[in-house]
Amino acid sequence: VDIEPLPAVTDLEQALAPDAPLIHEDLDSNLAAHIIQQKGNYAEAREKADVVIRRRFYYDHGVAAAMENRGIVAWWDDKAERLTVWDTTQAPVVIRNGLAAMLGLSESQVRVIAPFIGGAFGPKIMMFYPEEVLLPWASMQLHRPLKWIEDRRENFMATTHERDQIHWAEIALTKDGKILGVKDEFIHDSGAYDPYGLTVPINSQCTLLGSYDIPNYYSDMKVVFTNKMIVTPYRGAGRQHGVFVMERLLDLAAKELGMDVTEIRRINFIPPDKFPYNNEIIYQDFAPLVYDSGNYEPLLDKVLELIEYEKFIKEEQPRYRAEGRYVGIGVVSYVEGTGIGPYEGARVQVETTGKVNVATGVGTQGQGHFTSFVQVVAEHLGVDPKDIYLVTGDTDIFHWGTGTFASRGMVVAGNAIHSAAERVKEKILHMASEELEAPVEDLVLEGGFVKDKRHPESFIALKDLAVRANPLRGAVKADAEPGLESTAYFGPERGATAFGAHAMIVEVDPETFDVKILRYVAGHDCGVVVNPLIVDGQVRGGVAQGIGNAFYEKIVYDADGQLLTASFMDYLIPTSMEVPHIELVHTETPSPLNPMGVKGVGEAGAIPVAPLFVQAVENALADYDLEILEAPLSPNRLFELVQEARAES
């Protein structure tokens, strides 16, 4: 057999060259998509500007590196003619529907279960990985259950990646620091295929606008094929890129204008009376990019107060410099589009034992859904959380749904559970009103009972009401349903926009260029906070991953497209030793787009860390007058930048 190696393209800019080898020979070029979005007229804004700053920014490749790799168990039951698949997917309903179509089965013959797994972060929603089809097919052929577990090397090579964008961006401002407009031209590495379309780069394009009142914006986006692993969302899903570019532009503008980095952000924040705020471009869900609600300054103030910003700038940093220590501070802000549709559903049922069954189609990968969803039902029905049994991600138990991704679990599935529980509560109160001969407004649900507030001796147990709601004789009226249960669905008209502000103090070792994080303060506004511990855990976990993206993690390919970082020996992730204690503050600006007023939080912590880290390092090394326009920033790369700065000076 003669094998002729084909030329490979791994460089993002070279892939667009006229003579570049084609990744797909049926296409004219390696350009997968070209999208321009704009609001206002940037060219006119630029003419009126006192200051225009333009730079090239680069955000390198990375992987999710979940604690648990992908895995599948498939079992074809010959007698029942049913296929059961346990899959580490984030979208069990979609997998069920796809398997049924590809294997020639009815949807009722396929059961997909998404069990508890150790992290997903986006790559596990990719439909379909080859193993997700081949294992079920092979089980049907062999009439035996089959199991496949991905090893770590396979995970690096064959589970989807993210990042890798180059931006040429500029910002136009008045001499007072007011933004007149922003222009951004960028290319996005899609890898060899484009299974998720424009999701990641559209997120970058939209999130770049950030928390700022920007009247004029021009964004030119090109999606490019290369000989690398395909790109799908990974915690943040392109938002990091946009935030990195915008926050770095503001840092450069503040330096040029002699302003404090917090002041230039403050004067450009969208004021509270402008919400809902229409950015006049289209988001990834094809809905207009409209921020539903926000009040940004109070959260920034909380962050600055907790980290003692003024004291650090005026007292502590001068002392550190006098001691010969390189200690710096950074402050950034960002927004996060969360809770997109199309929908999720849920069923809530009170058993005749008084216990409550809850089911929803979304799976869980460590986000704390069980605790939060159970809490919603417990608060509605007045029952002990221990008496609530919740099933998630099992297509036999709940048949419809979309999946767990895009910080949407509580926003979409949570509101479906909220609505179903509210309907069951109405049934309970209506029945109890008749049984106790008391008006509904005088009844409360508490401890598994419905009680009359006026007459403490008058009460009835939920289990007794459940028995009476399921009569064993007599006809059911046409307009009635037996049992204390309800199924509800919720689909938002558009996503809810969360906000955050983070601050960090770092110390740079002048010999090794290692960076130690001395303090980290994260401020977040995700609307109404359902469970503070869960929310705090999500933010802290995101920050930990963000630290990895900012300083440690980088996927490297050689010129032939061979992966060089296929183990944790070469691809470094932060351990508990590198992740500092993360201090948290919150504000609550309810979303008007859903009954609970919640916004998503799952990706929040990871989004702003890279520009924050870079700003703090620049501040620590102010004597070198660095401009850091890339991420991640390894000690080796930081050393090179300092050497370049020394040579120029």
Q: What is the pLDDT of residues 77-107, one digit of tens each?
A: 999 999 999 999 999 999 999 999 999 999 9
pLDDT at 197 over 90: no
Rounded Cα distance between 86 and 106, Å, is 18
CATH of 344-490, one of 3.10.450.40, 3.30.365.10, 3.40.50.300, 2.30.40.10: 3.30.365.10
DSSP strand pairing (515-525 vs 582-586) = parallel
Please say if the pLDDT value at position 159 is more than 80. yes
71-158 folds as Aldehyde Oxidoreductase; domain 4 (3.30.365)
What share of the chain in percent tops pLDDT 70? 99
Q: How many CB atoms lie within 10 A of CB 620?
A: 25
pLDDT at 406: 83
DSSP for 109-141, please give it: GEEEE----S--SSGGG-TT-HHHHHHHHHHHH
Residue 565: what pLDDT? 94
Asked whether the CA dihedral 279, 283, 287, 290 is positive or negative, the reply is negative
Task: Report whether 507 contacts 576 (CB < 8 A).
Answer: no
Q: What is the pLDDT of residues 248-288, one digit of tens each?
A: 999 999 999 999 999 999 999 999 999 999 999 999 888 89
With bands split at pLDDT 50, 70 and 90, how would you rate the model's confidence at 646?
confident
Mean pLDDT within 548-562: 92
For the chain, the 3-state helix, strand and coil shares in percent, each to the nearest 5, are: 35, 25, 40
* Structure confidence by residue, pLDDT tens digits, 327-367: 999 999 999 999 998 999 999 999 999 999 999 999 888 88
Question: What is the predicted pLDDT for the residue at 478?
Answer: 65
Q: Are 215 and 181 in contact (CB under 8 A)?
A: yes
| C-alpha to C-alpha distances, 133 to 49, 160, 460, 558, nearest whole angstrom | 56, 17, 52, 31
Q: Write the pLDDT tens digit of every residue in 204-225.
A: 999 999 999 999 999 999 999 9
Neighbours of 252 (CB within 10 A): 18
- Say whether 344-490 and 71-158 share the same fold: yes
Percent of the chain with pLDDT over 90: 85
Residue labelled with tokens 């501070």:
329
Asked if pLDDT for residue 474 goes beyond 70, the answer is: no
Residue 617: which pLDDT band, with cuts at 50, 70 and 90? very high
Residues 436-451: what's their mean pLDDT? 94
Residue 453 token pair = 């507030």
- Supply the pLDDT for residue 282: 93
**CA neighbor of 514 nearest in space, from 627, 582, 613, 622:** 613
What is the band of 122 on the pLDDT scale with cuts at 50, 70, 90?
confident
pLDDT for res 473: 59
Mean pLDDT of the chain: 94
Q: Are 170 and 186 in contact (CB under 8 A)?
A: no
- CA distance to 98, 205, 270, 377, per residue, from 191 (Å): 24, 19, 36, 43
pLDDT category of residue 472 using cuts at 50, 70 and 90: low
Task: Report the pLDDT averaged over residues 431-448.
Answer: 94
At residue 187, the pLDDT reads 98
How many CA atoms lie less than 13 Å away from 187 in the CB half-sphere? 17
Per-residue exposure over 211-236, b if at least 16 CB sit within 10 Å of its own CB, e if not: bbebebbbbbbbbbbbbbbbbbbbbb
123 neighbors 230 (Cβ within 8 angstroms): no
Q: Flag whether pLDDT at 381 surpasses 90.
A: yes
Q: Are 327 and 320 in contact, with CB atoms under 8 Å apart?
A: yes
**Domain boundaries in the chain?**
71-158, 162-340+493-648, 344-490
Task: Tell me the per-residue pLDDT of 246-257, one tens digit each, with 9 for 90 and over.
Answer: 999 999 999 999
- Asked if residue 438 has pLDDT above 70, the reply is yes
Q: CA 626, CA 618: separation in Å to the nearest integer? A: 6
Q: How many whole angstroms separate alpha carbon 596 and alpha carbon 492?
A: 12
- The model's pLDDT over 494-508, given as tens digits with 9 standing for 90+, comes to 999 999 999 999 999
Q: What is the pLDDT of residue 648?
A: 82
Q: Is 630 helix (H, G, I), strand (E, B) or coil?
A: strand
For 281, other C-beta atoms within 10 Å of its C-beta total 16
Structure tokens at 612: 């924050």
Among 168, 66, 63, residue whose Cα is nearest residue 541: 66
Confidence of residue 5 (pLDDT cuts 50, 70, 90): confident
- The pTM of the full predicted model, rounded to 2 decimals, is 0.95
- DSSP label at 493? S
The confidence band for 476, taking pLDDT boundaries of 50, 70 and 90, is low
Which tokens in the block code for residue 361? 């189609």
Q: At what angle do helices 532-547 and 609-620 cross, to 10 degrees?
A: 60
More confident residue, 61 or 520: 520
CATH of domain 162-340+493-648: 3.30.365.10
- The answer on pLDDT for 477 being more than 80 is no
**Which helix (H) or strand (E) is 349 found in, with range?**
strand 344-350
Average pLDDT over residues 149-158: 96
Task: Please list, residue by residue across 312-325, b when 16 or more beta carbons sit within 10 angstroms of its beta carbon and e when fewer do.
Answer: beeeebeebeeeee
